Copies of this chain bind each other. A is one copy, B any other.
Amino acid sequence: MSPPSKICDLPTPALLLNWPVAQRNIERAAAFVDGQAVRLRPHFKNHKCVPLAKHQLAAGGCCGMTSATVDEAVSLVAAGVEDVLIANQVVGTSRVEQLLDLCRRATVRVAVDSTANALPIGQAAVARGIEVGVLAEIDVGSHRCGTQAGAPTIDLVRQLTAIPGIRFDGLQAYHGNVVGMPLSAERDEEARQSMIPAIETRRSLESEGIVCPILSGAGTATYRVVGQMEGVDELQIGSYVTLDWSYKQRVGDEFDVALSVLATVLSARSDAYVLDVGVKAIAHEFGPPQIAHPPNSEVPRFSAEEHTIVHATQHGLKVGDRVHVTPSHACATCNLHHQIVVHEGDEVVDVWPISARGYGLDLT
């Protein structure tokens, strides 16, 4: 079946991308690196949608894509993307095998934070007669994966350079703690301070004669500051293209919300109405969804699978009316949908598959 030509004819819930807004977001990020040495490495995890990734790459200023998982990298490489950084540890025999399949077909690098993590990759690479490029991940404040900057990372890198099948290609540093801070001069300063130890570690390695071609990091809230720091090569900017209401509060005028979920009013009473979207259509890590109309709308709780109750007086909505809902977390919301419907106003411009959504075995 072909998709309808108007968004009002879509079955709901439907994930929508406002194309003029998304294009403007893409152009603004590309303009920032224009004429500079630093490059963008857009993060695929935001939308997992290949056609959208291709628009990001086509806008210029990119050195490749970032992915969070091997499955995401599989989608990108299958579509012809030639340079992918899996900004995460890859562990387990079947995941390592998947990684190596990709390394034969494209430049695919991966983050490591221990020899326990790197050795199986190296062994499998040697068995295939290839080499895998790795970035040593530094913990610059997220306290997730990664080694501490300075001596612990330098020790790890020395060991990595001795592992057959492993090629040390540089460092990764992501300050997840900073990108969550409100827009402020303090956040900019925190972002800068968090990256200094990573840059210093790079310099120490280089002074030892260990070549360190790449330092990759930052996010939508911090790429502008980090992109001006000498010694940073790649900006892993992700959410900027779709945005969400939570991130919008943290970026100010720079980018705008392009993503929404179209919903239908199932039931209406004088002080409330009920939409046909719930937690299976809208992710809520950073709060319940927001609804622009009417201005006094309030979502008192958001935990049902297929319903959103909106408290609003004088809402003027009736059964069958359509409402645009903005999620607090775009990345996890895109993961809930098979496609993203690209629109300009009321017109459906295109429908793009979200090919890397969900988890599971490839049993084809």
**Is A196's beta carbon under 8 Å from chain B?**
no
| Partner pick for A309 among B11, B89, B144, CB 8 A cutoff | B144
| Partner pick for A266 among B9, B89, B336, CB 8 A cutoff | B89
Q: Are B10 and A94 in contact (CB under 8 A)?
A: yes
A307 to B13 CA separation, bound complex (whole angstroms): 28
Q: Are B335 and A93 in contact (CB under 8 A)?
A: no
- Kindly list chain B residues whose C-beta atoms are within 8 Å of the C-beta of A331: 280, 305
| Nearest opposing residue in chain B for A357, CB measure | B358
A286 to B303 CA separation, bound complex (whole angstroms): 8
Identify which of A19-27, A110-118, A127-135 touches chain B. Answer: A110-118
Q: Are B320 and A337 in contact (CB under 8 A)?
A: no
| Partner pick for A359 among B303, B320, B336, CB 8 A cutoff | B336
Q: Are B285 and A279 in contact (CB under 8 A)?
A: yes
A45 to B116 CA separation, bound complex (whole angstroms): 40
Q: How many residues of A contact B (CB 8 A)?
A: 73
- Kindly list chain B residues whose C-beta atoms are within 8 Å of the C-beta of A364: 1
- Of residues 255 through 308 on chain A, the ones whose CB sits less than 8 Å from some CB of chain B are 264-268, 274, 276, 279-281, 283-286, 303-307
| Partner pick for A68 among B92, B305, B337, CB 8 A cutoff | B305
Copies of this chain, complex-wide, total 2
Main secondary structure of the interface of A (DSSP, over half): loop
- Kindly list chain B residues whose C-beta atoms are within 8 Å of the C-beta of A105: none
Q: Are A91 and B266 in contact (CB under 8 A)?
A: yes
**Is A145's beta carbon under 8 Å from chain B?**
yes
A182 to B52 CA separation, bound complex (whole angstroms): 46
A268 to B341 CA separation, bound complex (whole angstroms): 41
| Nearest opposing residue in chain B for A93, CB measure | B9
- Of residues 317 through 364 on chain A, the ones whose CB sits less than 8 Å from some CB of chain B are 318-320, 329, 331-332, 335-339, 341, 351, 357-364
**Is A104's beta carbon under 8 Å from chain B?**
no
A358 to B361 CA separation, bound complex (whole angstroms): 16
A264 to B274 CA separation, bound complex (whole angstroms): 40
- Kindly list chain B residues whose C-beta atoms are within 8 Å of the C-beta of A280: 331-332, 335, 359
Q: Given contacts A91-B264, A144-B309, A266-B145, are A281 and B9 in contact (CB under 8 A)? A: no
**Is A176's beta carbon under 8 Å from chain B?**
yes
- Kindly list chain B residues whose C-beta atoms are within 8 Å of the C-beta of A357: 358
Q: Given contacts A338-B359, A358-B357, are A144 and B285 in contact (CB under 8 A)? A: no
| Partner pick for A307 among B1, B145, B363, CB 8 A cutoff | B145
| Nearest opposing residue in chain B for A95, CB measure | B11
Counting from the closest, the 4 A-B pairs by CB-CB distance are: A338-B360, A116-B319, A89-B266, A11-B94
6 A-B residue contacts at CB 8 Å? A13-B359, A91-B264, A117-B267, A145-B307, A339-B360, A357-B358
- Besides A144-B304, A280-B335, A335-B336, 16 other CB < 8 A contacts? A1-B361, A2-B363, A3-B363, A14-B360, A45-B306, A89-B267, A89-B276, A92-B320, A113-B267, A114-B268, A117-B266, A120-B320, A146-B267, A176-B304, A281-B359, A351-B363
Residues in A lying within 8 Å of B, measured CB to CB: 1-4, 9-15, 45, 68-69, 88-89, 91-95, 98, 113-114, 116-117, 120, 143-146, 176, 264-268, 274, 276, 279-281, 283-286, 303-307, 309, 318-320, 329, 331-332, 335-339, 341, 351, 357-364
